[in-house]
């Protein structure tokens, strides 16, 4: 796979690689791994929420308004 970066991105990546003692390729692979892990986690959390809603485990609009008001007043 090829990856095309803007000149600014390439320059910053080279600086980060030099500063951390890693190669640009290693940094890009790490970034992709983090992105994929974050995407998987998000999908799992959405499914958790869908399952909770299906079981009737959610707050009413009024309950949510009370919680938000309480949080903002602290």
Residues 12-42 have pLDDT tens digits of: 999 999 999 999 999 999 999 999 999 999 9
**What pTM does this model have?**
0.74
Report the alpha-carbon distance of residue 38 to residue 28 in Å, rounded.
15
Domain interval for residue 38: 25-73
The angle, 0 to 180 degrees and rounded to 10, between the axes of the packed helices 7-20 and 24-54 is: 100
61 assigned to some structural domain: yes
Number of domains in the chain: 1
14 assigned to some structural domain: no
Report the alpha-carbon distance of residue 21 to residue 37 in Å, rounded.
24
Looking at residue 57, its pLDDT comes to 95
């Amino acid at each position: 796979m090829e990856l095309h970066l803007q000149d600014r991105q390439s320059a910053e990546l080279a600086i980060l690689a030099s500063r951390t003692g890693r190669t640009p390729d290693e940094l890009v692979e790490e970034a992709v791994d983090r992105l994929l892990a974050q995407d998987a986690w998000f999908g799992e959390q959405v499914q958790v929420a869908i399952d909770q809603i299906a079981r009737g485990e959610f707050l009413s609009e009024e309950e949510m308004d009370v919680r938000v008001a309480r949080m903002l007043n602290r």
